[in-house]
Structure 1
């Protein structure tokens, strides 16, 4: 592992810095009820297929409809029914209704004084910008790369390279902080960055991060020092 000092820190957004006040499962259950059908897939099925549709759809509404239609088809249901559920979901999801995760404000405030900081997040601007604003983080970062919209999605290296180019940073002097092994850690390694993994949910350990923390609060100790 490189021993170069760190001068650039990139963050994932969802479930790393912010999270929705209402879970995806809660909104999905309401969407099924609104359409008048019993739930026929869990939120995890949406999460598993989400990134598959990022490069081929122009908005979160299009992505969700395509994803839900595919999930419905996989379960032997009419894809049109999946699209109906997706539209009901979109009508109930407020992307600005988020909260900062514990330690996020303190870390961001401290790091902006010490490092070049940016966000690399999978998701289109119309979804991710309201989250930044709702959490009071709009303007907190020198760059925000909407991977899957501005570039290929994570774990491709392009979004990390885009952020570093904007910040004037080098990959061997940068770290990326995220909650996903498959997206954040794998993407950081593909781009030559060091990785900090703060798990939000269980994942099979197919790749080893450089640093694994239990919470954002531990990031204040700057584990790369």
Structure 2
């Protein structure tokens, strides 16, 4: 018999919601608006996001400092990176998000059966807009802004904070996310059961010695896992 489950934690970006306008298109447009070619790819921004999340207080500040560092590392004026970040911010609406396929229904069903937590890396101001716009905030019993309330994932602290808020032990908790490096590694470190969502060509089920307990390719597949009572 699988262990009983009392709570389900979810990552936010790429797990429950995504931007309607892809970030790579916004970045390309931002470079064009300041009159330069694309000096770094969107993946470089993602690679250093968590580094700047822990030392900045807003998404705008995070992006400005990250873009400045990315430009500087490539031999360009860091001020150019900040101008690109400002151009990016002028067209990014954090409320313009949509649920991934099946995510709204899964969240609605699970919120009737389990305590729900959101554990997300990212700036509090931007993440709150996404949560409120999509209606995720009304379905969650707690939200942890990792990198602000606690160290960023994959540190175990954000998961522990969510468990404390919900009053449940790790062995009765599942975490669902789309990143091996932050979601799976962090959940494993905190003693939770980890579920990796692999979609749109994202990461495989194991890397750097971290392996997910379960792998799914869409959120509705959660309902078929052995710990889920039939919904």
Q: Deviations along 1:113-166, whole A, 9 cap, x unmatched?
A: 111111000012210111112212221100011111111110001110111101
Aligned: 1:135 with 2:134? yes
The unaligned stretches of length 5 or more in structure 2 are none
Question: How many Å separate the matches in 2 of 1:12 and 1:223?
Answer: 21
Quote how far apart the aligned CAs of 1:3 are: 4.4
Which residue of structure 1 lines up, in the alignment, with residue 24 of structure 2?
25
Aligned: 1:48 with 2:47? yes
SS of 1:176's partner is: strand
Question: How many Å separate the matches in 1 of 2:178 and 2:227?
Answer: 17
SS of 1:56's partner is: coil
Which residue of structure 2 lines up, in the alignment, with residue 182 of structure 1?
181
Quote how far apart the aligned CAs of 1:32 are: 0.6
Aligned: 1:212 with 2:215? yes
Which residue of structure 2 lines up, in the alignment, with residue 147 of structure 1?
146
Q: Deviations along 1:189-214, whole A, 9 cap, x unmatched?
A: 11110100002413562211000011
SS of 1:139's partner is: helix
Q: Is the 8 A contact 2:194 2:212 kept in 1?
A: yes
The unaligned stretches of length 5 or more in structure 1 are none
Q: Is the 8 A contact 1:27 1:93 kept in 2?
A: yes
SS of 1:121's partner is: strand
Which of structure 1's runs of 4+ aligned residues deviate more than 4 A? none
Which residue of structure 1 lines up, in the alignment, with residue 110 of structure 2?
111
Which residue of structure 1 lines up, in the alignment, with residue 90 of structure 2?
91
SS of 2:176's partner is: strand
Quote how far apart the aligned CAs of 1:40 are: 1.1
Question: How many Å separate the matches in 1 of 2:123 and 2:136?
Answer: 17
Quote how far apart the aligned CAs of 1:65 are: 0.9
Aligned: 1:202 with 2:215? no
Quote how far apart the aligned CAs of 1:14 are: 0.2
Q: What aligned pairs does 1:161-172 form with structure 2 within 5 A after superposition?
A: 161-172=160-171
Quote how far apart the aligned CAs of 1:34 are: 1.1
Which residue of structure 1 lines up, in the alignment, with residue 227 of structure 2?
224
Taking only aligned residues, the RMSD between alpha carbons, in angstroms, comes to 1.4
Q: What aligned pairs does 1:29-40 form with structure 2 within 5 A after superposition?
A: 29-40=28-39
SS of 2:21's partner is: coil
Q: Is the 8 A contact 1:13 1:121 kept in 2?
A: yes
SS of 2:144's partner is: strand
Question: How many Å separate the matches in 2 of 1:144 and 1:8?
Answer: 13
Question: How many Å separate the matches in 1 of 2:112 and 2:146?
Answer: 25
Quote how far apart the aligned CAs of 1:224 are: 3.4
